[in-house]
Amino acid sequence: MSDPRWSDVDDLIDAKLGTSDPVLDAALDANGAAGLPAIDLSAAQGKLLHLLVRATSARRILEVGTLGGYSTTWLARALPEDGQLVTLELEQHHADVARFNLARAALTDRVELIVGPAADSLAVMDATSPFDLVFIDADKEGNVGYLREALRLTRPGATIIVDNVVREGDILDPASADPKVQGTLALYDAVAAEPRLSATVVQTVGAKKWDGFLIAVVT
Ligand code: SAH
Ligand code: DHB
Ligand code: MG
């Protein structure tokens, strides 16, 4: 299910508001040339996350799922000069491309990229310098675990955002055999059962089809 106008409207948003720029476009080109899947955020979505960082004055960001660093670039650019973003990526090849893209974006000083299974990287992180905003966008089967770690590693008032929580409506089938759907439904249940979280889901259409972001605030 997809309407070509969704993508056309994303192009129009980009043309009218100038959301993207040559550095971001170059990252997408480099990702494609390196054979990475085109599952980055759209420019309009990246700008949304960028604005949420600015609106909340976040200074420390945790990202789970780097890919080629496209979302990382949107997020890190919203940080003040002394801000920091830690991003976790399983695949060495993805991380290599991301490092290249982040260097071109002049963000190396603000971004720490840790390669390995995110669950392992998170397990050895401590909460002495808590994060203000967490963006979860890796394997969907791991989402409940990533949410637990995000709660452990954030301060009260922090924002937690999870990508791909609508999945073209596939979440409507509770008996789905797709482990990504099951991981997503388990995330909804975990969020609903967590008294420290107040949450909503924003459905989205556009170049990345029909999907959505879960947005939660830690109380
Ligand atoms: N946030 C990126 C897109 C991420 S795509 C953007 O919008 O630009 C999902 C990424 O999660 C992929 O690069 C994949 O390799 C990574 N990933 C998958 N399983 C993982 C795991 N267990 N730990 C860390 N990263 C993982
Ligand atoms: C997939 C992962 C993503 O993070 C995304 O935005 C789109 C697709 C995937 O694993 O297929
Ligand atoms: Mg995603």
pLDDT of residue 1: 77
Residue nearest to atom 4 of ligand 2 (CA): 137
Band of pLDDT at residue 90, cut at 50, 70 and 90: very high
Average pLDDT rounded to a whole number, residues 91-113: 98
Q: Which own/partner pairs from 141-146 qualify as long-range (CB within 8 Å, at least 24 positions apart)?
A: 141/179, 141/180, 141/182, 141/183, 142/64, 142/118, 142/183, 143/183, 143/184, 143/186, 143/187, 144/183, 144/186, 144/187, 144/190, 145/119, 146/64, 146/118, 146/119, 146/122
Read off the pTM.
0.98
Cβ burial, residue 210 (10 Å; 0-12/13-18/19+): middle
Tens of pLDDT, residues 119-129: 999 999 999 99
The Å distance, Cα 67 to ligand 3 centre, comes to 9
Tens of pLDDT, residues 49-69: 999 999 999 999 999 999 999
Residue 8's SS3 state is helix
Alpha-carbon torsion 161, 164, 168, 169, what sign?
negative
Compute the chain's Rg from CA coordinates. Answer: 16
Closest atom of ligand 2 relative to the 139 alpha carbon: 10
- The DSSP code sequence of 35-57 is T--S-SPPHHHHHHHHHHHHHTT
Residue 45: how many other CB atoms lie within 10 Å: 23
List the alpha helices (DSSP H) in 39-177.
43-55, 70-76, 92-104, 118-123, 143-152
Closest atom of ligand 2 relative to the 180 alpha carbon: 10
Strand order in the sheet with 197-204: 111-115, 84-89, 60-64, 131-136, 154-163, 211-218, 197-204
Provide CB contacts within 8 A for 81, sequence distance 6+: 110
User: What is the distance, to the nearest Å, from the Cα of residue 153 to the centroid of all Cα atoms in its chain?
Assistant: 16
pLDDT of residue 59: 98
- Mark the residues whose beta carbon lies below 5 A from ion ligand 3: 137, 163-164
Average pLDDT, the chain: 98
Share of the chain above pLDDT 70, in %: 100
Q: Is 137 close to ligand 2, i.e. is its CB under 6 Å away?
A: yes
Closest atom of ligand 1 relative to the 45 alpha carbon: 7
Token pair belonging to 162: 């999870």
Average pLDDT rounded to a whole number, residues 143-161: 98
CA angle 102, 214, 119 (to 5 degrees): 60
pLDDT of residue 31: 98
> Any bridge partners for residue 204, and if so which?
211
